[in-house]
């Protein structure tokens, strides 16, 4: 089995679909065929060797590394089921879309729709992510349904829109409509949030490290008896990045229930208020 490294040598001048670049898929491609692999671009195609220098090593498990900034390379890790994919630079849009297994680690920024409709596995982004991370595609009813998304920087608007299951962690700020129309799952935000937080939220948990500037009147404060949940929740967060790793052993946060405009039974937890 092969571990492959693709080093960016040329930017194509148009956007390229990188959904073929999966660890398990490329691990079984011969060294002679790999440079000739065709990637679809915006109205034209290109060979893998046109864009990257290719290095191949023997490995025990499928692995792929993309070295260099590739903000023009979309759908990295799309539909991935196994293996490890590391991007040592910036990635394009739709990174990790509909991923169901494996690990995708982007050591830079990601574009819009990162981990969109993700079903399992883990996506970690060291920089910022664009709009609609962990959300649903236009016209679809479900966003993220499993797995973990960690964003160490900031997230754009509509984070986790229509999310149904899984865990989203944003160490920095989140834009407008974060956790909008949330159905279930956990969304944790370490920095500031934009307007319309948890708009239309039905169930699930939103945890804020800091109090927002405004809480909608369709959220009501109160509720007791979730000490055990908080203990288990923070124990899970202890394995993650700061500030979430520091919540274990802290006092139980303030709790709000909502969004009551949609008969919501979700909970908004504020740790430092």
- Tell me whether strands 122-125 and 145-151 are parallel, antiparallel or unpaired: parallel
Ramachandran region of residue 200, left (φ > 0), alpha (ψ -120 to 50) or beta? left
What's the confidence (pLDDT) of residue 1? 67
**Confidence tier at 262 by pLDDT (50, 70, 90):** very high
Residue 115 near residue 93, CB atoms below 8 Å:
no
Longest Cα–Cα distance of the chain, Å, equals 64
Residue 118 near residue 162, CB atoms below 8 Å:
no
- Residue 183 CA to residue 8 CA, distance in Å, equals 40
- Residue 17 exposure: Cα atoms within 13 Å on the Cβ side: 14
Asked if residue 259 has a cis previous peptide bond (ω within 30° of 0), the answer is yes
- Pairwise pLDDT comparison (133 vs 241), residue with the higher score: 133
* 190 and 172 part of one domain: yes
Name beta bridge partners: 66: 6, 87
Chain-centroid distance, C-alpha 144: 9
- Tell me whether strands 63-67 and 84-88 are parallel, antiparallel or unpaired: parallel
Any idea what the CATH number is for the domain that residue 97 is in? 2.160.20.60
* 103 and 219 part of one domain: yes
* 86 and 17 part of one domain: no
Residue 186 burial (CB count, 10 A): 22
* 168 and 239 part of one domain: yes
Eight-class DSSP state of 76: T
Q: What is the mean pLDDT of residues 120-138?
A: 97
* 35 and 87 part of one domain: no
Residue 226 has pLDDT above 80, yes or no: no
* 60 and 83 part of one domain: no
Q: Cα-Cα-Cα-Cα dihedral of 200, 201, 206, 210, to 10°? A: 20
What's the confidence (pLDDT) of residue 225? 67
* 16 and 123 part of one domain: no
* 16 and 134 part of one domain: no
- Of 66, 92, 113, the domain-final residue: 66
Question: For the chain, how many structural domains are there in total?
Answer: 2
Taking all residues of the chain, what is their mean pLDDT, rounded to a whole number?
Answer: 93
Placement of tokens 């109160």 in the chain:
222
* 31 and 86 part of one domain: no
- Tell me whether strands 122-125 and 16-17 are parallel, antiparallel or unpaired: unpaired
What's the confidence (pLDDT) of residue 224? 66
pTM of the model: 0.94
Tokens of 60: 């025990």
- Of 22, 45, 66, the domain-final residue: 66
Q: What is the mean pLDDT of residues 73-84?
A: 96
- Residue 175 CA to residue 167 CA, distance in Å, equals 18
**Confidence tier at 234 by pLDDT (50, 70, 90):** confident
Q: Cα-Cα-Cα-Cα dihedral of 140, 178, 146, 210, to 10°? A: -170
Q: What is the mean pLDDT of residues 234-239?
A: 87
- Tell me whether strands 145-151 and 165-170 are parallel, antiparallel or unpaired: parallel
What's the confidence (pLDDT) of residue 214? 92
* 166 and 42 part of one domain: no
- Residue 158 exposure: Cα atoms within 13 Å on the Cβ side: 17
* 21 and 87 part of one domain: no
- Of 66, 94, 120, the domain-final residue: 66
Residue 249 has pLDDT above 80, yes or no: no
Residue 272 has pLDDT above 80, yes or no: no
What's the confidence (pLDDT) of residue 61? 80
Eight-class DSSP state of 262: G
Residue 136 near residue 162, CB atoms below 8 Å:
yes
- Residue 131 CA to residue 143 CA, distance in Å, equals 13
* 54 and 103 part of one domain: no
Q: Write out the residue range of the structural domain in which residue 12 sits.
A: 1-66
């Amino acid at each position: 089995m092969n571990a492959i490294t693709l080093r960016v040598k040329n930017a194509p001048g148009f956007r390229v679909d990188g959904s073929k670049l999966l660890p398990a898929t490329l691990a079984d491609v011969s060294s002679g065929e790999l440079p000739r692999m065709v990637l679809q671009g915006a109205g034209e195609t290109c060979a893998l060797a046109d864009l990257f220098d290719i290095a191949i090593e023997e490995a025990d498990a499928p692995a792929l590394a993309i070295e260099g900034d590739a903000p023009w390379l979309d759908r990295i890790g799309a539909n991935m089921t196994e293996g490890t994919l590391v991007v040592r630079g910036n990635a394009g849009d739709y990174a990790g879309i509909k991923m169901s297994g494996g690990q995708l680690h982007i050591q830079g920024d990601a574009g819009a729709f990162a981990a969109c409709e993700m079903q399992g596995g883990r996506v970690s982004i060291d920089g910022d992510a664009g709009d609609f991370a962990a959300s649903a595609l236009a016209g679809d009813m479900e966003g993220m349904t499993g797995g973990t998304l960690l964003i160490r920087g900031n997230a754009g608007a509509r984070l986790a829109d229509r999310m149904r299951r899984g865990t989203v962690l944003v160490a920095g700020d989140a834009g407008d409509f974060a956790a909008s129309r949330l159905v279930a799952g956990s969304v944790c935000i370490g920095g500031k949030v934009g307007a319309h937080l948890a708009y239309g939220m039905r169930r699930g948990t939103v945890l804020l490290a800091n109090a927002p500037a405004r809480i909608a009147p369709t959220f009501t404060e109160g509720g007791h008896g979730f000490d055990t949940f908080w203990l288990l929740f923070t124990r899970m967060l202890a394995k993650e990045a700061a500030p979430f790793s520091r919540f274990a052993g802290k006092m139980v946060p303030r709790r709000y229930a909502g969004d009551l405009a949609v008969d919501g039974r979700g909970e908004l937890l504020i740790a430092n208020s």
